[in-house]
Amino acid sequence: MSQGVCSFTGHRVLAARDLSQINERLDDIIGQLDNKGIERFLVGGALGFDTLAAKAVLRQREKNPRIILVMCLPCKSQEKYWPVGDKNTYFELLDAADETIYISEKYYTGCMAKRNLYLVENSEICVAYLKRAGSGTGQTIRMARERGLTVINLAY
């Protein structure tokens, strides 16, 4: 567990009606964490919540240039089958990130779970958007709690 580090986990598919509220909550919690000295933020690079979290970290970095965005990706070319608009956003986030970590060069079964474990093992706080416990996000939250991380669920 790393001191002063926050990771994010959440669902890929989010209801359009919830996006504004999720963004507000992300801005609020990242601002609070920044005020407490958390300046390193690990994001998994998936569609949905991860994308919103990365954008929110970048908004906070405009206020505090010491903020560090680290994209922790399961593998190179994870975006291979994504729609063009999502790919463009993904590459913009990678360009804006301070650091990019690839868990694996190539996709393999389990590389997403290994990325999630990396996020948990390298942070002390996990900000989540969890509505369905039987998901990869749910598994990540269980790992985080087992390892004693502070978990903040923005879904409720």
* Residue 122 pLDDT greater than 90, yes or no: yes
Segment 21-75, tens digit of pLDDT? 999 999 999 999 999 999 999 999 999 999 999 999 999 999 999 999 999 999 9
* Residue 3 pLDDT greater than 90, yes or no: no
For residues 1 and 45, the model is more confident at 45
Q: Note the pTM of the prediction, 2 decimals.
A: 0.96
- Residue 118: partners with Cβ closer than 8 Å, 6 or more residues away: 72, 101, 103
All domains of the chain in start order, with CATH: 5-153 (3.40.50.450)
The residue type at 145: R
Is 46 in a helix, a strand, or coil? coil
Q: How far apart are CA 8 and CA 31, in angstroms?
A: 15
Work out the percent of the chain whose per-residue pLDDT is above 90.
95
Q: What is the pLDDT of residue 133?
A: 86
Question: Starting from the edge strand earliest in sequence, which strands make up the sheet with 5-10, in order?
Answer: 99-102, 68-73, 40-43, 5-10, 125-129, 150-153
If one counts every other C-beta atom within 10 angstroms of the C-beta of residue 117, the result is 17
